[in-house]
Amino acid sequence: MRMLNTKTRSHEVTTAEQPQHRTQGSAESTGKVYPQISQITQINDEVFSGSYLAALREVRPSSPRRSAIKSVQSVKSVDSPSAFTLVELMAVMTIMLIMALITIPAFAKMFQNSKQVGAMNEISAMIAQGHALALKMHQQVAVVFYEETAGGYSGETAIALAIAPQGQPENGTTAAPLYFEPYLGTPVQYLPAGMMVAALNSSSSVNVGTIGSTAGTCRAIVFDASGHMVLRSYLGAMANPDNTTQANWQNWNFYGSTPSNSTAVSSPGVMAYQPSKLPASATASASALAAYLAANNDVFIVNSYTGAVIR
């Protein structure tokens, strides 16, 4: 029994000491069999060192975003704006001058056309009012065109409505002209500055005022009591009821002033024109002006039955 216990105790000692020997042996064998482990440990130490990280950043390829930023910065540095040279400045100024020379005549023509259109619209509106007044009052009404001599409108072309008082003849004669007096219910209207009016007579020739003077021919469109456009002669004018000089017979050039019966007649149509834009040949005489306007201007013809304006 004692021998058995001794063997058992010695076996326990041997068994308890075995792990220590095995651990030491495993450590020694690990160093001999796996020498790469120590190298890996050294590499790990170097990885976390600053020098290796700096080297890694230099070797590591740039991300797409970083590359794009660098390329934009390089483009900006290349394409940075610089001051104009004298040659470039002169080229820009030359282009601007050419554009101005092209556009200025176009603007001038557009402004001229706007004045022409404005005059035509004003004429149409006043003729329509004259027609409506004849129907309303059941009396003869004249739409009169003349050059004003009063106040701040001196020299401008005016349009006024005149009405024949009750008891006037249907047509005028030498002994009894067809008198009209200003209709104060409708204010006098003025065409855009520089615009004038010429009128057609019954033979389709043109009656024009003398440019730069109030002397000229009668220019009027007459509606009868039924609203029909009619041709009347010996048109006369009474003095204004309020004794003012605006729109009186002297400006109208009706019969009893300078015109004779050949010019103191109503017209079937009128036309607007701008004297400053006419060629010199057209302003040489009244007949030359009449011929030029008849060939180059739009005419307002009044329908004899309806009183409507036809352009």
Q: Which of 244, 219, 64, 218 has the alpha carbon at shortest distance from 149?
A: 244
- What's the pLDDT score for residue 190? 92
- Describe the crossing of helices 36-47 and 50-59 by its angle, rounded to 10 degrees: 80
User: Is the Cβ–Cβ distance between 267 and 221 less than 8 Å?
Assistant: yes
What's the pTM value of the predicted model, to 2 decimals?
Answer: 0.60
User: Which tokens is 133 given?
Assistant: 């007044």
- How does DSSP assign 196-215, residue by residue? EEEEE-TTS-EE-BPTTSS-
- What's the pLDDT score for residue 233? 82
CA–CA separation, 7 and 93 (whole Å): 120
User: Which tokens is 128 given?
Assistant: 């329509």
CA 275-161-125 angle, to 5 degrees, is 65
Q: Which of 271, 229, 297, 308 has the alpha carbon at shortest distance from 120?
A: 271
**Could you list the pLDDT tens digit for every one of the 311 residues in the chain?**
444 444 444 444 444 444 444 444 444 444 444 555 555 555 555 545 555 555 555 545 555 555 555 554 554 554 555 666 888 888 888 888 888 777 766 655 555 567 878 888 899 999 999 999 999 999 999 999 988 877 777 788 899 999 998 888 888 777 677 888 889 899 999 998 888 888 876 555 566 654 444 445 778 999 999 999 998 888 887 765 555 544 455 678 776 544 444 557 888 888 888 888 888 888 777 778 878 887 777 788 898 888 888 87
User: How far, in Å, are 6, 8, 11, 13, 14 from residue 3 at the CA level?
Assistant: 5, 9, 12, 15, 16
